[in-house]
């Protein structure tokens, strides 16, 4: 599929990956409608930080994906949907699982039902590597069993199943996109890399973390966005689940030590019990296969770990960015 001049809806455009995807789709010469979460402050999330000349190209739609009426309105005249809106914080899902079902499962149902009714040409539904749970084999392919090791993961498995059912039942031109552990500028404080960086840049010498033994497959956000674009352009991937991964892994401990070495080698890691997941809920190994994506498209990671981390740290070093984070408060 050619993206140029397509009318595109991005849900979750105000978030981390969504805001980067919005910028990229403008460069692809798409007409972008950004679905942002309604709030009384008229905040557009990370889109507010973009230069005026970029914001002026975006059509903003404020709403809530839990509202089917608003979703149908947002879908009017749209050719392609990138559905990223989701609740994603795992610790908060222990506290408020109902909200994850409402947003991630019912919200996804609203999106794909409206897409079906509007006869969109293509829809990409965003999943997560957390649906796999701790790896039973590596690299993790799309055939790996699903293991809901948190209410968040369960809600995303539910959303994936709803989406897959609409492809099979109604031939909806849909792909489930499954990024692994994306990081980069604008990532929220609930993620481990911003947690480490912001504590260090704010001068803390005891870096509070949970379990540092799990491994993660780290993907720089620009590579994740390029994966979305490659998948959207590839009609052969309709009806598929597709990983976006680097096919590598690093422990949280080694990751933290790498960042500490770059910012303040005198700092040390300390265990904060409130950041520990329940033992049966912790995902101890994520190491994804990129073979399906690379065999169907020309996608490959453009950023090495060192390049991606350097750009991320440089972004956080800017006062206007670091000031948006509260490193001394644990954000579940």
Q: pLDDT of 185-194, one tens digit each?
A: 999 988 999 9
Q: Examine residue 239 and state whether it is found in any structural domain, yes or no.
A: yes
Contact 214, 264 (CB under 8 A): no
How many domains are contained in the chain?
1
pLDDT for res 223? 98
Q: By residue range, what is the domain housing residue 122?
A: 7-183+219-244
Per-residue model confidence as pLDDT tens digits over 224-233: 999 999 999 9
Instruction: Output the CA–CA distances (angstroms, integers) from residue 325 to 210, 258, 305, 328, 331, in the order listed.
Output: 19, 21, 23, 9, 10
Question: By percentage, how much of the chain surpasses pLDDT 70?
Answer: 100
Neighbour-count burial of 42, counting CB atoms closer than 10 A to its CB (0-12 exposed, 13-18 middle, 19+ buried): exposed
Q: Is residue 31 a part of any domain in this protein? A: yes
Flag whether 145 is in a domain: yes
Q: Which among 110, 1, 33 is positioned nearest to 64, based on CA atoms?
A: 110
Whether 57 maps to a domain, the answer reads yes
Work out the average pLDDT over 307-329.
96
How confident is the model over 7-36, as pLDDT tens digits?
999 999 999 999 999 999 999 999 999 999
In a domain, 264, yes or no: no
Q: What is the CATH number for 99?
A: 3.40.50.720
Alpha-carbon distance of 194 to 64, in angstroms, equals 27
Mean pLDDT of 290-313: 98
Does 249 fall in a domain?
no
Q: Is 210 contained in some domain? A: no
Instruction: Look at residue 332 in the predicted model and tell me its pLDDT.
Output: 79
The predicted model gives 96-125 an average pLDDT of 98
Q: What is the mean pLDDT of residues 198-225?
A: 97
β-partners of residue 8 are 32, 80
**Quick check: 328 pLDDT over 90?**
no
Going by C-alpha positions, the residue among 294, 277, 11 that lies closest to residue 159 is: 11
Question: What own/partner pairs with CB < 8 Å and gap ≥ 24 does 317-326 have?
Answer: 317/201, 321/185, 322/198, 322/201, 322/202, 325/189, 325/194, 325/198, 326/189
Q: Does residue 116 belong to any structural domain of this protein?
A: yes
Expressed in angstroms, the distance from the first to the final Cα of the chain is 39
Q: Evaluate if residue 318 carries a pLDDT over 90.
A: yes
- Is residue 196 within 8 A of residue 159, CB to CB? The reply is no
Question: CB-based contacts of 271: which residues, under 8 Å, 6+ apart?
Answer: 208, 209, 210, 212
104 within 8 A of 166, measured Cβ to Cβ: no
Q: What is the pLDDT of residues 156-170, one digit of tens each?
A: 999 999 999 999 999
Confidence of residue 331 (pLDDT cuts 50, 70, 90): confident
Plot region of 42 (φ>0 → left; ψ -120 to 50 → alpha; else → beta)? left
pLDDT value of position 259: 98
What pLDDT does 47 receive?
Answer: 98
What DSSP string describes 4-73? Answer: TT-EEEEETTTSHHHHHHHHHHHHTT-EEEEEEE--TT---GGGGGS-HHHHTTPEEEEE-TT-HHHHHH
């Amino acid at each position: 599929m050619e993206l140029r001049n397509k009318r595109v809806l991005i849900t979750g455009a105000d978030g981390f990956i969504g805001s980067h995807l919005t910028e990229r789709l403008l460069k692809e010469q798409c007409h972008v409608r950004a679905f942002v979460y309604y709030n009384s402050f008229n905040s557009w999330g990370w889109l507010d930080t973009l230069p005026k000349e970029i914001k002026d190209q975006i059509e903003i739609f404020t709403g809530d994906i839990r509202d089917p009426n608003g979703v149908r309105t947002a879908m009017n005249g749209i050719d392609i949907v990138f559905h990223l809106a989701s609740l994603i914080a795992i610790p908060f899902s222990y506290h408020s699982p109902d909200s994850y079902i409402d947003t991630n499962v019912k919200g996804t149902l609203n999106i794909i039902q409206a897409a079906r009714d509007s006869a969109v040409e293509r829809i990409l539904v965003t999943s997560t590597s957390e649906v796999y749970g701790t790896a039973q084999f590596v690299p993790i392919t799309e055939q790996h069993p699903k293991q809901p090791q948190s209410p968040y993961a369960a809600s995303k498995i539910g959303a994936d199943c709803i989406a897959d059912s609409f492809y099979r039942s109604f031939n909806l031109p849909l792909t489930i996109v499954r990024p692994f552990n994306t990081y980069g500028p604008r990532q929220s404080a609930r993620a481990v890399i911003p947690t480490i960086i912001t504590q260090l840049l704010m001068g803390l010498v005891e870096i509070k973390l949970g379990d540092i033994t799990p491994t993660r497959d780290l993907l720089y956000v620009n590579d994740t966005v390029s994966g979305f674009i490659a998948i959207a352009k590839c009609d052969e991937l309709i009806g598929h689940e597709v990983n976006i991964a680097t096919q590598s892994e690093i422990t949280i401990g080694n990751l933290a030590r790498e960042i500490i070495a770059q910012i303040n080698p005198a700092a040390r890691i300390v265990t904060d019990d409130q950041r520990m997941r329940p033992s049966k809920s912790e995902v101890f190994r994520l190491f994804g296969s990129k073979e399906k994506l690379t065999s169907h498209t020309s996608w490959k990671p453009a950023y090495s770990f060192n390049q991606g981390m350097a750009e991320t740290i440089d972004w956080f070093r800017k006062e206007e960015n670091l000031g948006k984070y509260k490193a001394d408060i644990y954000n579940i």
